[in-house]
Chain A
Amino acid sequence: MSTFLNFTGTLLKNLVSKPVTKNYPEEPAVYPERMRGRIVIDIDQCISCGLCVRSCPPRCITVDKNEGTWTINRFDCIACGYCASKCPKKCLKLIPGYQKPGRSKAAVTYHKSEEVMEAERKKAAEMAAKKAAALKAAKEKAAAAGAGTAAAKPMPAAGAAPAAKPVAAADAAPAAKTPAAEKSAE
């Protein structure tokens, strides 16, 4: 059964058939639509919650809420897509196509647009105002409730102050002791 030149037929066929390889980069590569190439962000949807930061296995994302930025070190990203599955606003997406190579690892920062930042600031201010108003209302209510409860209020504050003291003393004591102990050992 066994022969030499068993492979010749296949070989000749391969010789005359079209190559299976592509002449990349002259011929562009075609990626399937599910390909996990790189992460893109719709930054204006981002609410800077930081869930992606905490879920990313190589920890390559950082988020700054005050600045309104989202930063990714693409050279550390392993294109796993875990951040995209965790994002509550669904603003992260893995798209086909590899990221560009580079000479050094560099992070890319995305900034939220001015309008979104403005809107966020406004909202934050509104929230702060609302909170202050609520606090004020609560205080007034407490004040109106009577002198008995109002007098009780300062009590815990006064109690807390002496309670804090022994802790500090206990902390300081061993620290003060050790050098002395060392000296006596010498």
Chain B
Amino acid sequence: MGNISVVPFGPQHPVLPEPIHLDLVIEDEKVIEAVPSIGFVHRGLESLIAKKDYNEMVYVAERTCGICSFGHGMGYVEAVEKIMNIEIPDRARYLRTIWMELSRMHSHLLWLGLLADAFGYESLFYHCWRIREQVLDMIEESTGGRVIFSVNKVGGVMKDMDAAMLARFSEKLGEVEDQVIAVRKNFLYDKTVQLRLRGVGVLTKQQAHDLGCAGPFGRASGIATDMRTRGYGAYGDLEFEPITSNEGDSFARCQCRIDEILQSIDLIRQAMGMIPDGDLFVPVKGNPNGEYFMRIEQPRGEAVYYVKGSGKPYLNRLRIRTPTFANLPGLCETLKGADYADVPILILTIDPCISCTER
């Protein structure tokens, strides 16, 4: 038996992108237990329902996260629309889907860059973010914002993409696709990357299932859950299969996410081909009266929005469960038995977003 010591890790740490604190119990160089604690950046967004009416809350919900902002806005408005029995126009459904997939692409490319940075591959990191920039440009051109889209409203969307814009985006997506395919090769067939990722932090399917892992983190362990298959937005009309892997290690998580970027490009293409003409929104009257659980697939996994209203402009309750929260138990499990030097990579492989976990 070696020396057992406890190393505090975070919330401020040079290799940590997010404010999470972990007490790592280590024996020599191996982690034998990890105890997480969060709560360093609580913002109290959910309690703002007392001060902002349900329309203003769209902008608050969007600001839950700085990366998957569109999805948070979309999950919230769809929950309110379900309560109020609003059938939004088909064009709005498709536009939301396109924006959602663009935001998934930029989120995954951001993550790939951060992963490359975590194992010390700076040039690959910059290259990923260079590709991501083009996606951000498309987002900015169509919505007016790079991070916060602000195009959702209860009843539909506020901005349109005309045929010329769709054609331009389709061309641009082709370029991005070529670059992603090239960078996929760099990630998946590079010895340096494999040495750092293969067999690191394995989570079996059973473990992932028992710990309730969500999103690409769970899918890399073979759990084929993808909330998009529920068919919200326009996903019901599009053809796709959840991307899974059976390896369950860090390499599989990387592979799943890269393949999901390509899948997103495919989904956007499908949506662009089928997008119908029509209105962007329907007029909304009255206030939400009732409650609804909305589950959507964010880039990081399944997010849940619980909205309850009682016929007043101010809601009674808004609850957001973000995917990182679901993945923290899985993270602690993967950390057991890992090398101390691999801890930053393992934390990164769940694609943590602690700030949105704390809302």
Our verdict on whether A and B bind, yes or no, reads: yes
The answer to the question of B191 belonging to the interface, with a C-beta cut-off of 8 Å to chain A, is yes
A76 vs chain B, min Cβ distance (A) = 13
Known: A57-B59, A82-B56. A4 touches B192 (CB 8 A): yes
Contact check, A94 vs B144: say whether CB atoms are below 8 A apart. Answer: yes
Checking B124, B130, B143 against A7 with a beta-carbon cut-off of 8 angstroms, the contacting residue is: B124
In the complex, what residue of chain A is closest to B139 when comparing beta carbons? A32
Checking A6, A32, A81, A82 against B141 with a beta-carbon cut-off of 8 angstroms, the contacting residue is: A32
The answer to the question of A36 belonging to the interface, with a C-beta cut-off of 8 Å to chain B, is yes
Q: Tell me the bound Cα distance from A34 to B55 in angstroms.
A: 22
Interface residues contributed by chain A, number (CB under 8 Å): 23
Checking A4, A35, A82, A94 against B59 with a beta-carbon cut-off of 8 angstroms, the contacting residue is: A82
Q: Tell me the bound Cα distance from A36 to B147 in angstroms.
A: 11
Q: Mark A1-38, 1 if CB is under 8 A from B, else 0.
A: 11110110011001000001000000000001011100
Known: A14-B127, A32-B140, A32-B144. A6 touches B182 (CB 8 A): no
Contact check, B56 vs A2: say whether CB atoms are below 8 A apart. Answer: no
In the complex, what residue of chain A is closest to B150 when comparing beta carbons? A80
Contact check, B150 vs A36: say whether CB atoms are below 8 A apart. Answer: yes
Contact check, B56 vs A6: say whether CB atoms are below 8 A apart. Answer: no
Contact check, A1 vs B59: say whether CB atoms are below 8 A apart. Answer: no
In the complex, what residue of chain B is closest to A14 when comparing beta carbons? B127
Q: Tell me the bound Cα distance from A85 to B144 in angstroms.
A: 15
Contact check, A3 vs B144: say whether CB atoms are below 8 A apart. Answer: no
Q: Mark B148-186, 1 if CB is under 8 A from A, else 0.
A: 101000000011000000000000000000000011011
Checking A2, A11, A79 against B191 with a beta-carbon cut-off of 8 angstroms, the contacting residue is: A2
Q: Which residues of B are found within 8 Å of A78, using beta-carbon distances? A: 59, 63, 148
Q: Tell me the bound Cα distance from A3 to B143 in angstroms.
A: 41
Contact check, B182 vs A80: say whether CB atoms are below 8 A apart. Answer: no
B311 vs chain A, min Cβ distance (A) = 20
The answer to the question of A71 belonging to the interface, with a C-beta cut-off of 8 Å to chain B, is no
Known: A7-B124, A14-B127, A82-B59. A34 touches B191 (CB 8 A): no
The answer to the question of A69 belonging to the interface, with a C-beta cut-off of 8 Å to chain B, is no
Known: A4-B191, A78-B148. 13 other contacts (CB 8 A): A2-B194, A4-B192, A6-B190, A6-B191, A7-B190, A20-B130, A32-B137, A34-B140, A34-B141, A36-B145, A57-B59, A80-B148, A81-B144
A-B contact pairs, 25 of them (CB 8 A): A2-B194, A3-B191, A4-B191, A6-B185, A6-B186, A6-B189, A7-B186, A10-B186, A11-B123, A20-B130, A20-B133, A32-B140, A32-B141, A34-B142, A34-B143, A35-B144, A36-B144, A36-B150, A55-B56, A78-B59, A78-B63, A80-B59, A80-B150, A81-B144, A81-B150
